[in-house]
Structure 1
């Protein structure tokens, strides 16, 4: 499970980054921590595994999988491991005051959970396994992006951290206002996952494994929300992206490969069935200069089959 993304724990209580720091800790042999302390940044703590108790001011919380702990600056707090024989695993996100104030300046929604922690001492958000798995996906993505050297990485990190914080605030609002997590939330989480992984394996089995749910339950959720199967949704999503790519000048075979189609002939037939026109005729109708010299052998076979 993404062991290469873990971080060696240390007792540092100050930030080295100007904006945020995110750590994934997995201690197979936990040891005593720093005890009660304060720091100058905002802390968002995501608990996965272990037997640990959080103390914030005079409040005590026995932590369980899916709990999110929110600690504003200058608030006394600590995490105390109660069983050192059980592995201890969690994410820890630190955000500087300046970076968090910048987020709140964009919208009051970003500060809801922190305000509830400060004003009403509501420091813990409880989530179910389905919801928390979607949060974990966002956390892993941020760490992976931070370790990359991709173009626009810094901006992507800002957007991803903003998205994560907004998600935490939504969860806080739903919990503190007695709003139950519904199938609609799961449906949207699955749609977001498909959007981010459109070129990967998006079979019902793989998505069920990712969300730790029965594939029959996921099928039921999709049918209830959109009226078609998950397989058809993924196919329509991919075909639409291929259509847009072809209209923008991308070759048919390239569009096919970029959006998760392993076989060009199957893509060709599905495209024509969906849009009533072949990808080649679509390109022609858009007055793109496609010549036989730029057409793959697979495309030529598909053209012959069509005629």
Structure 2
């Protein structure tokens, strides 16, 4: 399938692509684990595009960063190392594909309005009081209703979205203080603590990791 990238002018654009022989994919597969499944589109009208979440994206980039240097080497065990990394990448793709195929819970239209409000106001006050004022609902009721369908409290959901926003900005080269403000973390210490807890490294190290690539 022919395709092209539609990019934004205000952010850096990079891509990593792999050409993997079908026979090799079949060799890496087992009777219980068909690694070709994510490429097999039975419906010709289906667009087989997998959107990686932030964690899956990080895993893919890390696997590729480890794989690419091995392609020009002929050292002992290099072929096995390549196969292991390819298997990891294919497993990742198939796991994302499996999630994509699962039926999604139907989210009430009202909660779609809430999540849209969050996306549009990440840098602003998103306290329970702010939600209550905007939607004219009791904050406790709204929080419980949100968690019932989304699996997270409003505070947890907002924090996760802000962390995702912060990661995108850091990958684009923004400094940590600016990212803290643009992601809606009013308190710098809270931002560092929350980022460390969810990502496993500090915002500064995360930024450096991507700037060095």
Q: TM-score with structure 2 length normalisation?
A: 0.48
Q: Whose helix proportion is higher, 1 or 2?
A: 2
Q: Whose strand proportion is higher, 1 or 2?
A: 1
Which structure's CA Rg is the greater one?
Answer: 1
Q: TM-score with structure 1 length normalisation?
A: 0.34
